[in-house]
Amino acid sequence: MKSGSQVYCLLVNHLFSMLCDTWSSTSQYLPHRRLNSYTRLPSPSTISPLLIPFPTDSDNMLPPAFLLLCRSRPKPTLNLLPPKSVHVYKPYFRSFSTTPFRLLKTTDMTDNQFAAVKIDRERLWRDLHTTCEWGKGERWGPEETDVGMARLTLSDADKQARDWFVETTKSLGCEVTIDAMGNIFAIRPGKKNGPPTFAGSHFDTQPTGGRYDGILGVHAGIEALKTMNDNKIETEYPTGVINWTNEEGARFPISMVSSGVWAGAFPLEQAYNLVELGGGKATQKSELERIGYIGPTEASYKVNPIGAHFELHIEQGPILENSGGKIGAVEGVQAYKWFTITVKGRDCHTGTTDFKNRSDAMLTAAKLILHSHNKASELDCLASTGILNLKPGSTNTVPGFVQFSLDIRCKEDATLARLEKALKKDFFKIANGEETGGLNALGTKGRGCTVQWHLDTDSPATKFHDDCINCVEASAADMLGDEPNSGTLVQRMTSGAGHDSVYTSRRVPTSMIFVPCRDGVSHNPEEYCSPEDCGNGAQVLLGAILRYDRLRAEKVAA
Ligand SMILES: [Zn+2]
């Protein structure tokens, strides 16, 4: 060892003995697993320094760096140094101070104190793009993160993201439960036992998806837990994060299927037996087994109950962006029904059959689709056709058979029922050549067609829980409070798309937080949510969880 290094070692040894003195003179504890039970640090005698000197170029120079490792006999139950993949976790370092732990209880916190607890926006952004290294999709721009996602559920990339989730949340002191659908529940203990208040969303994406749909919600939940640890916040009830399996339904074709099984909306066997799209033979069960995420806990709200569910999500629509809104406090999800409509007429020659003698299924279908749009506009609803097939498919034959999909959506169940009833009546009339909404006013009346309706999906409107919506709104108002026009920055909204929160809301208080995404685009590699909006959403999520925890305690006390 060179002389510079020797001097340095002396200094370090001195420092270390001072450290051990401080250590033994104070009673130091670290929170471990349960925040209200503590594990004592190993005594100083079981720790010995290990110096690794780095060579220097000159005898006169001190070494540029050294490593100080703590080694213990027997192995301490605590991981004194944070694992590599985890960011610096401040409570570990509190063990070197001489003041006892002060835990901040949500029940003692004021609204101002809730607002003062800030998430680490840079850490959130960094973590999010770290896990997006697994399952990268199409590049669309020059920036490092201008790359879409193709992380289909239960793929190898999904397993890597899941492994990161488990490792990270465990290192934060969470207990991790995996259920039979591979849903992962990471739980940070509270003062009392009870069903945890969760932030949940999904790590899986569409085949040509982006980096924010679902992924942001999971990361914001983890960031909330990290912030609670950083600020030594003690919640009344456990809190946690959920990564729901196969929200997208892109590989195994039922959306939100695993939160659905948890909520009792689908039998487990139906979910297990789903076969992957694209000609493969894998089932949802075989893939869960293959990647090792078929957990021992039953996927059920009865066996594995949760206390409340908050979900941060990109809006996936343009409303916030167009109106200058920053946060959507989501009140519910609109009702929708999917139908297959079959129009039957008669094939005939296009050159020899005059209009009066035609049963033109395609012409009729065109009128029906246009009418669904007009009627839905009238009732402030939506109507869309995404699939259309016709037979025989020849230029000089009038088609006698057309089948198309009809997706209708309204905020309220009653409005949806009104729209459906009106369309059923009008479709019949239009197909028979009767004048309806101007569609048969012009042209030549033909022989008419028949119309059949088949219901494929019925999803009633979802109403989220007032307590949860109020917590989101209060948290958002706190964050944006000092900005002008805050009334437009925080908006109450209805979600146009389904989310895992639809199923959790059937069983427990739930609500969602929306943040704007560029041009309202999602399910597209170019999907983008700015660092500011990601951070805003996570901040509101944290505030909502803390507020809800306080509210739970107040309700029990009342
Ligand atoms: Zn999503």
Most confident of the ranges 2-11, 64-73, 511-520: 511-520
**Residue 228 or 35, more confident:** 228
Instruction: Annotate 187-223 with b (16+ C-beta within 10 A) or e (fewer).
Output: bbbbbeeebbbbbbbbbbbbbbbbbbbbbbbbbbbbb
User: E-assigned strands of 221-359?
Assistant: 233-234, 239-243, 308-314, 327-333, 335-344, 348-349
512 and 312 Cβ atoms separated by less than 8 Å: yes
pLDDT of 65 reads 36
Going 146 to 150 to 153 to 156, the CA torsion angle's sign is negative
pLDDT, tens digit, 9 for 90 and up, residues 227-264? 999 999 999 999 999 999 999 999 999 999 999 999 99
501 Cα to the center of ligand 1, angstroms: 10
pLDDT, tens digit, 9 for 90 and up, residues 2-29? 444 444 444 444 544 444 433 333 333 3
Pairing of strands 327-333, 462-463: antiparallel
314 Cα to the center of ligand 1, angstroms: 8
Q: What percent of the chain has pLDDT over 70?
A: 81
Most confident of the ranges 27-31, 113-117, 286-290, 489-493: 286-290
444 Cα to the center of ligand 1, angstroms: 47
Euclidean distance between CA atoms 408 and 373, whole angstroms: 9
- The reported pTM is 0.76
Average pLDDT of the chain to the nearest whole number: 85
Count the residues in the chain.
558
* Helix H or strand E encompassing 198: strand 197-201
pLDDT of 486 reads 65
Instruction: Annotate 484-507 with b (16+ C-beta within 10 A) or e (fewer).
Output: eebeebbbebbbbbbbbbbbbbbb
Instruction: Annotate 438-466 with b (16+ C-beta within 10 A) or e (fewer).
Output: ebbeeeeebebbebeeeeeeebebbbbbe
CATH number of 106-334+461-557: 3.40.630.10
Q: Retrieve residue 209's tokens.
A: 């998806």
498 and 255 Cβ atoms separated by less than 8 Å: yes
pLDDT, tens digit, 9 for 90 and up, residues 416-455? 999 999 999 999 999 999 999 999 999 999 999 999 999 9
φ/ψ of residue 67, rounded to 5: -115, 135
- State the SS3 of 314-334: ECCCCHHHHHCCCEEEEEEEC
551 and 471 Cβ atoms separated by less than 8 Å: yes
pLDDT of 482 reads 57
User: E-assigned strands of 211-257?
Assistant: 233-234, 239-243
- pLDDT category at 76 given cuts 50, 70, 90 is very low
For residue 266, the cross-strand partners are none
Q: Retrieve residue 208's tokens.
A: 């040509």
**Residue 39 or 98, more confident:** 98
514 Cα to the center of ligand 1, angstroms: 11
CATH number of 335-459: 3.30.70.360
Q: What is the mean pLDDT of residues 377-402?
A: 97
pLDDT of 484 reads 59
One-letter identity of residue 140: W
Answer yes or no: is pLDDT of 32 > 80: no
Answer yes or no: is pLDDT of 553 > 90: yes
248 Cα to the center of ligand 1, angstroms: 7
pLDDT of 431 reads 98
Answer yes or no: is pLDDT of 517 > 60: yes
Q: What is the mean pLDDT of residues 103-120?
A: 92
pLDDT of 485 reads 63
pLDDT of 457 reads 86
Cα 130–chain centre separation: 16
Domain boundaries, the chain: 3-81+89-99, 106-334+461-557, 335-459
249 Cα to the center of ligand 1, angstroms: 10
Q: What is the mean pLDDT of residues 130-144?
A: 96
**Residue 443 or 79, more confident:** 443
306 Cα to the center of ligand 1, angstroms: 20
550 and 236 Cβ atoms separated by less than 8 Å: yes
465 Cα to the center of ligand 1, angstroms: 20
- pLDDT category at 107 given cuts 50, 70, 90 is very high
Cα torsion for 497, 503, 506, 512, to the nearest 10°? -50
425 Cα to the center of ligand 1, angstroms: 36
Pairing of strands 197-201, 239-243: parallel
pLDDT, tens digit, 9 for 90 and up, residues 319-378? 999 999 999 999 999 999 999 999 999 999 999 999 999 999 999 999 999 999 999 999
pLDDT of 483 reads 64
Tokens 């960094």 found at: 126
128 Cα to the center of ligand 1, angstroms: 15
198 and 185 Cβ atoms separated by less than 8 Å: yes
Euclidean distance between CA atoms 218 and 163, whole angstroms: 14
